[in-house]
């Protein structure tokens, strides 16, 4: 058996850039073995649209004993991949979403989750999905992160990262008026513990250092601009510091991202989505990835949408997709150690 980790690779929405990026990634030397979970015809059609070679060898999820021979075949040459085929109801038309194909996307996510939970793959890489079309098809789908967390029965934290910055979120897709009420002592402690443990297990950082952003302007200005930093943040920070965690005081977001300050910390904990992510995306959008912390396996996704308007044209940036595979492989290797 190879020492390379085996990752399940899910292209996501078939009419978007996911199949294209999958085909293009398979033309390169990958840092891991991959088991593609997708509709075979869709991948072949995407390859044809891009004028790229692609050979696929089918295996079944129910019989892992046949995987190694197929994976060895794929290692021998680029543009080869092993696939667990998930047949769509209708043929994919690039750029045109179809609710009839939503079930194949959900089936791929479910199969990838099952394989990862069973330890048959060591990580999960996911392309962009289309929330509206999945909901339109009748799935109670608020996002892939939430879907995988529910199946694993775990609490999770969303982190976006690139080579120079990691940002984890206390809250994710909430209206701004709901953010303050959503940050409780319990939820904050859970976020910090999940992030701390994930940095140890998935990134090999023995004693993670977490920079915590305050909720309010100037981190509350000693209560003059909001008291959450004093009432919620400070007691949690004191409790976890007593256990040995390295945590900052709540810091103003407008100065926390100065490069010299960031060098002292391993990750930033943002209070809400648009507090931390604009800085991260501005500083490295093409290589940024979305990491789900708290799952019992590494899961990394691209940090962009389905890009229906440019699907299968060969112009989409491969950077985030390639980085997602690389990051997931690295996290899988750290977990082995």
Question: What residue ranges do the domains of the chain occupy?
Answer: 1-154+300-337, 155-294
| Stated length of the chain | 337
Can you give the pLDDT at residue 286?
84
Q: Is 288 left (phi over 0), alpha (psi -120 to 50) or beta?
A: beta
pLDDT attached to residue 234: 97
The pLDDT of residue 51 is 98
* Cα–Cα distance measured from residue 62 to residue 85, given in angstroms and rounded to the nearest whole number: 12
According to the model, what pLDDT value does residue 1 have? 42
- What is the per-residue pLDDT for 2? 58
The percent helix, strand, coil of the chain (3-state, each to 5) is: 45, 20, 35
Q: In which residue are the tokens 């394989």 written?
A: 115
Q: Is 273 annotated as a binding residue?
A: yes
Quote the CA–CA distance of 124 and 324 in Å, as a whole number.
10
| Six token digits for residue 140 | 């109670």
Name the pTM for this structure.
Answer: 0.94
Domains 1-154+300-337 and 155-294 share a fold: yes
Residue 100 is assigned to a ligand binding site: no
pLDDT in tens, 25-66: 999 999 999 999 999 999 999 999 999 999 999 999 989 999
The verdict on whether residue 60 carries a ligand-binding annotation is no
Superfamily (CATH) of domain 1-154+300-337: Isopropylmalate Dehydrogenase (3.40.718.10)
Residue 173 labelled as part of a binding site: yes
**Listed residue (112, 70, 71, 108) closest to 87, CA to CA:** 108
User: What percentage of the chain has pLDDT greater than the value 70?
Assistant: 99
Which residues, in sequence order, are CB contacts of 132 under 8 Å at separation 6+?
none
Does residue 225 register a pLDDT over 60? yes
51 is in an annotated binding site: no
Q: What is residue 230's DSSP assignment?
A: I
Could you tell me what percent of the chain has a pLDDT over 90?
Answer: 94
The answer as to CATH 3.30.9.10 being correct for domain 155-294 is no
Is the separation of the CB atoms in 20 and 311 below 8 Å?
A: yes
């Amino acid at each position: 058996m190879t020492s390379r980790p085996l990752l399940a690779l899910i292209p996501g929405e078939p009419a978007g850039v996911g199949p294209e990026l999958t085909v293009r990634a398979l033309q390169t030397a990958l840092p891991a073995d991959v088991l593609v979970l997708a509709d075979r015809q869709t991948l072949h059609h995407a390859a044809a649209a891009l004028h790229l070679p692609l050979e696929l060898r089918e295996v079944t999820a129910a019989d892992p004993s046949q995987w190694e021979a197929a994976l060895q075949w794929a290692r021998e040459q680029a543009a080869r991949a092993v696939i667990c085929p998930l047949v769509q109801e209708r043929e994919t038309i690039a750029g045109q979403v179809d609710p009839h194909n939503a079930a194949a996307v959900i089936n791929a996510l479910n199969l990838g989750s099952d394989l990862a939970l069973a330890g048959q793959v060591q990580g999960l890489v996911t392309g962009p999905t289309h929330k509206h079309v999945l909901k339109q098809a009748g799935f109670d789908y608020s996002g892939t992160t939430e879907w995988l967390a529910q199946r694993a029965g775990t609490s999770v934290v969303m982190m976006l990262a690139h080579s120079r910055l990691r940002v984890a979120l206390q809250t994710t897709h909430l209206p701004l008026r709901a953010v303050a009420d959503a940050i409780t002592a319990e939820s904050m402690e859970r976020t910090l513990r999940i992030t701390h443990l994930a940095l140890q297990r998935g990134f090999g950082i023995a004693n993670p250092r977490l920079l915590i952003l305050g909720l309010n302007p100037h981190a509350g200005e000693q209560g003059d601009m909001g008291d959450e930093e004093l009432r919620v943040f400070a007691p949690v920070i004191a409790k976890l510091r007593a256990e040995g965690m390295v945590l900052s005081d709540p810091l103003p977001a407008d100065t926390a991202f100065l490069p010299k300050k960031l060098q002292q910390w391993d990750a930033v904990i943002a209070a809400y989505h648009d507090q931390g992510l604009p800085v991260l995306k501005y500083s490295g959008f093409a290589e940024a990835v979305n990491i789900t912390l708290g799952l019992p396996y590494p899961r990394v996704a691209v940090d962009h949408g389905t890009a229906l308007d440019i699907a299968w044209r060969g112009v989409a940036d491969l950077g985030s997709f390639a980085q997602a595979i690389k990051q997931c492989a690295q996290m899988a290797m750290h977990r082995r150690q």
